[in-house]
Amino acid sequence: MSVVEYNLVNSKPARTHRTDEKGGFVDAQEWTYKRDILRAVRAKDLCRLTHQLSTLLRAGLPLVPALSAIVEQLQEIPQRPLSLFGGSQGTRLAKIMQQVTNNVNGGSTLADALKKHPDVFSSLFVNMVAAGEISGTLEEVLQRLAEMIEKRVHLISKVKSAIAYPLMMAVVAAGVVVFLLSFVVPSITQIFLEMNQSLPWPTRLLISTSAFIQTYFILIAITVCAIFFGIGAWLRTKQGRLSADRWKLKLPLFGELFLRLEIAHMARTLGILLVSGIPILSALEIAKGVIRNSFIAAALDPVKGWVSKGDTIANAIRKTKLFPPIVFHIIATGQISGNIEAGLINIADMYDSEVEMTTKTLTSLLEPAILLVMGIIVGFIVLAVLLPIFDINQVL
């Protein structure tokens, strides 16, 4: 067993000071997962930091002076607020990197120094740095890490934009409709009710809906909030998160997008890990820790088992029946040619392009669809208000 393999297989996962809902410690990889979901800005800062450290090492600067330069740079940049409670991203990173610098200056390896901050540096980051230090290619490994983080942030921001803008439009449209039904429509329809004449069915439906919302507005608001917080609590459980991630992959339009995004991230992670000299079983375990979708991450467990028993990774991935055929065919071709790393990177590049094209298509489709639905609803409200007026004019 190589030194790298021994360190990766026998290293214990770091623990954070945070606890789960049962009071137990949360694994560092799981906490890093949650942190990345909530704070994508930190990933951008980490990408910049990694780029800068790689550049300094390539320029011939020793590790400790390079780390000191990073700390000085972090202290000089404009301080962006970290939270509503004070502090800033740059200040926090500067303090962390100062601790890393002190540890390295005291004789620790860079990987061991980074491992003490699992809320910032994931197991993927730490293990790749360890491999780079052992092989003497730290600057190259850092460059690969920076490029991988940059691509990851770019893709995730694309997907978030594709989802967030139509969702915001839908929320605004729903708010406009509720406002009309709660405050505008009642004052208009009251006139029709006082006339004691027969009203067309659109107007009757509008009046009934408006009256229902006015009468039970507080109850509706409480129910919506209870459902929202209930779903949030359910998603924080292991089974809830697994079920939600499985359901996300079955969504129309978005299911394929989420699958391609995770495949791209998994393939790029595996490819870079293998290029860095990390064994396949350890690479699979690390890749599992950085995949956001828990359903896809769970599928890597049997893959690890089959590979450990002598099966090829391409055949093991085929057995999961989760990944598209092109994935394991490209991997199989890479195994035959002895360059599986290049095959994995090609898969990642291919799906990166597909994710970008899909997000553009979804955005172009969802925006007019939401506007059309909103137009139909508002048009129905206007029609329901105007029909009785037309009837009155005909009588007169």
Amino acid present at 297: A
pLDDT at 2: 37
301 is written with which tokens? 């467990």
Q: What pLDDT is attached to residue 1?
A: 35
Q: Let me know if the fold of 3-147 is the same as that of 148-396.
A: yes
Q: Nearest 5 degrees, angle CA 219-CA 223-CA 225? A: 120
pTM score: 0.69
Domain ranges of the chain: 3-147, 148-396
Among the listed ranges 10-24, 45-59, 89-103, 249-263, which one has the minimum average pLDDT value?
Answer: 10-24
The pLDDT value given to residue 151: 82
Residue 234 has pLDDT above 60, yes or no: yes
According to DSSP, residue 277 is labeled: T
37 pLDDT tier (thresholds 50, 70, 90): very low
Q: Average of pLDDT values for 22-36?
A: 40
CATH architecture of 3-147: Up-down Bundle (1.20)
Q: How far is CA 7 from the centre of its chain?
A: 29
CB 100 within 8 A of CB 112: no
**Of the CATH numbers 2.40.30.170, 2.30.40.10, 1.20.81.30, 1.10.287.70, which one belongs to the domain with range 148-396?**
1.20.81.30
Residue range 309-326, pLDDT digits in tens: 988 889 999 998 888 899
Under DSSP, the state recorded for 1 is -
| Amino acid at position 394, single letter | Q
